[in-house]
Amino acid sequence: MAKLIGLLERMREIEGVQTAIVVSRDGFILDAALSTNQDAEAIGAIVSTGLGASESIGNEINAGNLTLSMIEYKKSIVFIAPVGDEAILTVTAIPNHNLGIIRYHVKKTSKELLEVL
């Protein structure tokens, strides 16, 4: 699991990233790198439900498999990426940072996590 936290900590080093969490599909935290006082357990439970809803939307409109979901709030951006069939990478970031770079690293890290999990 040292490799798992290493990938999450590397994600956290990207400018603007606050939190990097890997959650099982049933909402349990596999590991987390946090920079704020966010509740990783609560995020994990909610993210697993949210991913299911996003996948249902994609299925309904025949959009193919979900590869990344980005949700924008006034004070935070949340990236949610499936990691195979068993896990979810969740990254929170501060708005007005280079979201393209963060998005690139979320997709890259989710692929790397497949090799670790």
40-78 per-position pLDDT tens digit: 888 888 998 888 888 889 989 999 889 999 999 999 999
- Coil, strand or helix at 88: strand
Q: Which CATH class is domain 2-116?
A: alpha beta
Q: Which two tokens stand for residue 117?
A: 């999990």
Distances in whole angstroms, Cα of residue 95 to Cα of each of 24, 102, 107 = 26, 11, 18
Indicate whether 1 pLDDT > 70.
no
- Average pLDDT (106-110) is 95
Q: Which residues contact 14 (CB under 8 A, 6 or more apart)?
A: 101, 102, 105
Q: Are 114 and 83 in contact (CB under 8 A)?
A: yes
Can you list the alpha helix ranges (DSSP code H) found in 13-97?
40-60
> What pLDDT does residue 69 have?
92
pTM of structure: 0.91
Residue-range domain boundaries for the chain: 2-116
